[in-house]
Amino acid sequence: MSISPVIEVDKLSITYGDFTAVRDLSFHVQHGELYALLGTNGAGKTSTLEVVEGHRQATAGSVRIFGEPPTNRRAVRPRMGIMLQESGFSPDLTVRESVGLLGTLSGRHDDVERVLAISGLTHKAGTQVAQLSGGEKRRLDFATAVYGGPELVILDEPTTGLDIQSRDALWAAVDRLREEGSTIVLTTHYLEEAQQRADRIGVMHQGTLRQEGTLVELTRSLPSVISFILPAGAPEPPLSLAHADGTVRVETFGLQEDLYRLLDWAHDAGVELQELQAGATRLDDVFRALSSETTTPTLERPQHVGDRA
């Protein structure tokens, strides 16, 4: 028996007046996945998540969470924890009271002290929300999202404003949720977080999904780069090269093979390649390729990189 996806977004469009922020967007998130919905500024990620969360109506298309429309709050809310970019906590309540209150409102059950502990807030339990730092408020947002260990957790830029220890603690808590079977949807501008953790990545630009797949699928369409400085008077290496400011840059789809040839040649020719660097393609490169595109919105089907033969 096949299990239906946790999130089904089909041909979603969202307009603000005359402006189309999201156009014909489709993606599915499967049980237990960590799906990173990434994109350039203004790409439409938050607008999309607002519809998924039931906070905004779709202009066209359909969204289903656990097979239900997101507006069916009674069915969906107890199963979904949401960490928004900004939450509306009452400034007069303490941290403990806020977690308890929002946890109870979610319809989920948990031990408040446990949630405070995994969110790194035990030492601030008696502090009023108004007196929290920005990073501590972010931890409180996280605490209310993970209260009760929901089946689906949506994290909208969860680590913005967090120091490195808080980030590590947050990801450790997310890892535990995943071990327990939760499905996670993440947006972030810290691409290395998605690169390290996402099972699949959807990349939005100007309201449409431009690419979708695993990290390997997304990056294999772009070349890796080898760069070095060739000493004056050295012979030309046996590779097709581009020179810029004295640095030689080689773009290659066969990183290991070309690196081997280059080092072999350098050894035989007695040439020392200065500042030698070789790097596999990263998610940053996928984004750079996107932002060099034209600004004309496209209606094409997104490139599901993994679909290619």
Ligand X SMILES: Nc1ncnc2c1ncn2[C@@H]1O[C@H](COP(=O)(O)OP(=O)(O)OP(=O)(O)O)[C@@H](O)[C@H]1O
Binding site for ligand X (CB under 6 A): 16, 19, 21, 39, 41-47
22 membership: H or E segment, kind and range: strand 19-29
- Output the smallest distance, CB 190 to ligand X, in A: 12
Nearer to ligand X, 45 or 96 (CB): 45
The residue with tokens 């040839």 is 261
- Output the smallest distance, CB 295 to ligand X, in A: 12
Nearer to ligand X, 119 or 187 (CB): 187
Nearer to ligand X, 43 or 184 (CB): 43
Rounded CA-CA distance 284/126 in Å is 41
Rounded CA-CA distance 76/73 in Å is 5
- 137's tokens: 């408020």
Longest dimension (CA), the chain: 74
Nearer to ligand X, 46 or 195 (CB): 46
- Output the smallest distance, CB 59 to ligand X, in A: 12
Q: 307: buried, middle or exposed (CB in 10 Å: 19+, 13-18, 0-12)?
A: exposed
Nearer to ligand X, 44 or 81 (CB): 44
- 233's tokens: 């008077």
- Output the smallest distance, CB 186 to ligand X, in A: 13
- 121's tokens: 């807030």
For helices 95-106 and 134-146, what crossing angle results, to 10°?
30
Contact present, 105 and 78 (Cβ < 8 Å): no
- Output the smallest distance, CB 57 to ligand X, in A: 12
